[in-house]
A = this chain, B = another copy of it.
C-alpha cells in the first residue's frame, strides 16, 4: 500500500513503451519489469498476466485514435468536405505526435485479426459511425456536389491515404536516407495535400 499508485503507473508506462516498440510477442515481461525498475513478480501481482496488461495498452491506443474521429464524423452541422479535411489533418497530426501507434495497432491486427477485430468492435460503434457518414455522402451525391462513389469505397480510400504512409514511414526512411529533405517537405504539407487529393477526386 506504500506507493502502489506510482508503481501501477510506472508499469503502465513501461508496458506502453515496450508493447508499442516491439509488439505483443517480442515485448517480454522481463523487458517491461526492467523498464519499470521492478521485478517480474510485481508485474504479475499488479496485472495478473501478459495478456491482461497487453489489452490495457491496446485498448487505450485504439480508443485514443478512434475518439478523435468519431466526434468529427457524427457532428450534425459540419459539411462533408470540412469533415474530410478535419479527419485527414487529425489523423496525420496524431500519427506525427504518436509515431509508434500505427505500427503497433496494424502489427497486432495482422498478427491476430479475429481477436483484435472483436476488440476494436467492442470499443467503437462501427455501424452507427458508418451510417452517419453514408447518409451525409448520399445527400451530397443527390445534390450533385459529389460524384457517385460508394461510402465504403470512400472511407477505405481516406483511411488508406492517412494510415498507410504512417505505417510505411520507418521503411521509407531506409530508402531515402540522405534525401530526407524531400521526405520532410512531403510530410509537412501532407496534412493539406491528402485532403486536396481526396476532394479533387470526388467533387464535381
Contacts and interface: CB of A to CB of B under 8 A. Distances in A.
Contact of A164 (B116, B160, B200, B201): B160
B25 A120 contact: no
B183 A152 contact: yes
Contacts of A202: 200
Nearest to A198: B201
B185 A118 contact: no
Contacts of A51: none
Interface in A136-157: 147, 149-150, 152-153, 156-157
A137 to B, nearest CB: 14
A100 B85 CA distance: 33
Contact of A113 (B23, B117, B170, B185): B170
A40 interface: no
Interface residues of A, number: 49
Tallying the copies of this chain within the complex gives: 2
What DSSP secondary structure best describes chain A's contact surface?
helix
A32 interface: no
A171 B23 contact: no
A168 interface: yes
Interface in A104-161: 106-107, 109-111, 113-114, 116-118, 120-121, 126, 147, 149-150, 152-153, 156-157, 159-161
A71 to B, nearest CB: 20
Contacts of A197: 149, 157, 201
Interface of A: 23, 25-26, 103, 106-107, 109-111, 113-114, 116-118, 120-121, 126, 147, 149-150, 152-153, 156-157, 159-161, 163-165, 167-168, 170-171, 173-175, 182-183, 185-186, 190, 193-194, 197-198, 200-202
